[in-house]
Chains A and B, each alone.
Chain A
């Protein structure tokens, strides 16, 4: 993987310690509480980074789009700007920014190093206190300019919300083309903003339910390529694929453990019921976690690895259960009207996202890990497959409207207020969010 060199830069006039103090005080004033839901996004001015070509403006365009899509920020139109930043190494005229109500200001410069790499310097300012919040610089190959924009977006998000960002991430999903009864499905991967699309499989076999490793650029998914549908591993960078385990029947619904060393999945028994198994990818040993005469599927680990939530119809209808990661003490946690399935544990550990079917509608919701505090974030004709951003603040899922030709990808934040369509070249389903890139 490519590495980004990141260093802090202090503004000329300010001593380093002074800059740190300024950061602390600025944070106290300029902070978004993401847990309450933001009715009024923070107005922020993102000025075009100075550069000898258009790469500076391209980078700031991506940053603005990321911030706007988060729902937490409202980038101000450049036509309203009064000061034109000509030297990002000196403090801006803060009054010129406060008068247009820019609470935060982003300035920067992109230059080319002797070896051809881009050097991007950026500073985030608290305009009302007149302080630099943070200053950093990054080096990257020119073709990775979008990653520079995503990393700077994450830095802005983190410095203004106190939460880690999620912009320097990718989404793997199922690209769908063709008529519904003969649909061709391919694994595809893109940046979280929909850029850099590429397909990972050729469409000759149905592929479903890709999931990212929390620790590596690796995915697990289900494919019909071998005749019997089974779970595979795919190394994204090398394209290397392998079958997971050597099971006689269908294996499906895979997910990684938090350390990326194990996979939990369903295995179809001879009698037609599905049980949950864990496979250790190093020792290749398998452990059966459930043994019921019911459908047990959609297992998902807690981020500390001690528990597994799953879907079972052992009580009659599909509901969500939680058990120890050794299969001990399965306990039902969903009790609302309707059916509950595809639990997905938040990377923060505090919530479980799910798909609920109730009154002829499909809903994406979250509940606490004991099943309490259920909140529905989105309701529609057909929607399912939640996946968490690595900071646990945003969920992506797929939706098919009544009468529509195919599914599309959408994100929604935990307040349920900010829903965004994620554009894909064709129909898309089964999104899976990557961890932050390295």
Chain B
């Protein structure tokens, strides 16, 4: 089920200065779900955030990737996001992370728990392939129990088929 393709390094990575020194001051206020604030999951939006902070990770790196319907394949756009995540995590090696797997509502509860567990594992494995130590990564599956977008159409369901990388101590 895993498909790990060659990655393209993103040109959007900013040079972080003094990030390590500031990492300990990472904001505790960053919400779990950036989408709740209207922040995109993509990178390079250029919002000023303290390098090495969880806000920096969420906004400038992108904390989430999305999946196709009933799929656990890491898409090309998701590979770019995960490559950025891995580079950031490799730079700020003091963070442990939790990868949350989620599904949309178009599946049964139990199957979606299994499906989103596989999404979380595929995300974990991709990050590990990019050099993030496996013992820094915890995974948890939420099935369809924690949608970010509450809605009723295809474009909205696609936002819920996601894996979210949370910096431990920065989120929930």
Contact flag A250-B109 (CB < 8 Å), given A180-B150, A183-B145, A272-B72: no
What A residues does B106 contact at CB under 8 A?
357, 382
Does A108 make an interface contact (CB < 8 A)?
no
Question: Residue on A with the closest CB to B106?
Answer: A357
Does A53 make an interface contact (CB < 8 A)?
no
Does B107 make an interface contact (CB < 8 A)?
yes
Partner of B118, one of A228, A273, A318: A273
Does A107 make an interface contact (CB < 8 A)?
no
Partner of B152, one of A183, A272, A403: A403
Is B147 a contact of A297 with CB atoms below 8 Å?
no
What A residues does B120 contact at CB under 8 A?
272
- Chain A interface: which size bin? 35 or more
Partner of B108, one of A180, A268, A271, A385: A385
Does A388 make an interface contact (CB < 8 A)?
no
What A residues does B118 contact at CB under 8 A?
272-274, 295
How many angstroms from the CA of A274 to the CA of B117 in the assembled complex?
9
Question: Residue on A with the closest CB to B105?
Answer: A382
What A residues does B141 contact at CB under 8 A?
229, 250, 268
Does B148 make an interface contact (CB < 8 A)?
yes
How many angstroms from the CA of A382 to the CA of B122 in the assembled complex?
27
Is B113 a contact of A250 with CB atoms below 8 Å?
yes
Partner of B145, one of A208, A293, A311, A384: A208
Does B18 make an interface contact (CB < 8 A)?
no
0/1 per residue, A332-343, Cβ < 8 Å to B? Answer: 000000010110
How many angstroms from the CA of A5 to the CA of B53 in the assembled complex?
69
Contact flag A311-B147 (CB < 8 Å), given A272-B117, A293-B1, A403-B152: no
Partner of A274, one of B114, B146, B152: B114
Is B111 a contact of A271 with CB atoms below 8 Å?
no
In chain B, residues 117-147, which have Cβ atoms closer than 8 Å to a Cβ of chain A?
Answer: 117-122, 125, 140-143, 145-147
What A residues does B110 contact at CB under 8 A?
209, 252-253, 266, 297-298, 311, 341-342
How many angstroms from the CA of A295 to the CA of B150 in the assembled complex?
27
Is B113 a contact of A253 with CB atoms below 8 Å?
yes
How many angstroms from the CA of A227 to the CA of B100 in the assembled complex?
12
Is B152 a contact of A402 with CB atoms below 8 Å?
yes
Q: Tell me the smallest distance from the CB of B69 to a CB of chain A, in Å.
A: 11
Does A430 make an interface contact (CB < 8 A)?
yes
How many angstroms from the CA of A382 to the CA of B108 in the assembled complex?
9
Q: Tell me the smallest distance from the CB of A250 to a CB of chain B, in Å.
A: 6
Q: Tell me the smallest distance from the CB of B131 to a CB of chain A, in Å.
A: 19
Does A17 make an interface contact (CB < 8 A)?
no
How many angstroms from the CA of A180 to the CA of B105 in the assembled complex?
11
Question: Residue on A with the closest CB to B141?
Answer: A250
0/1 per residue, A359-386, Cβ < 8 Å to B? Answer: 0000000000000000000000010110
Is A342 a contact of B113 with CB atoms below 8 Å?
no
Does A302 make an interface contact (CB < 8 A)?
no
What B residues does A311 contact at CB under 8 A?
108, 110-111
How many angstroms from the CA of A120 to the CA of B147 in the assembled complex?
51
- List of 3 A-B pairs having minimum Cβ-Cβ separation, nearest first: A272-B121, A295-B114, A272-B118
B residues with CB within 8 A of A:
1, 33, 36, 70, 72, 105-111, 113-115, 117-122, 125, 140-143, 145-150, 152
Q: A227-B140, A339-B107, A403-B152 are in contact. List 8 more A-B contacts (CB 8 A).
A: A181-B33, A181-B149, A274-B114, A313-B111, A342-B109, A384-B108, A385-B109, A429-B109
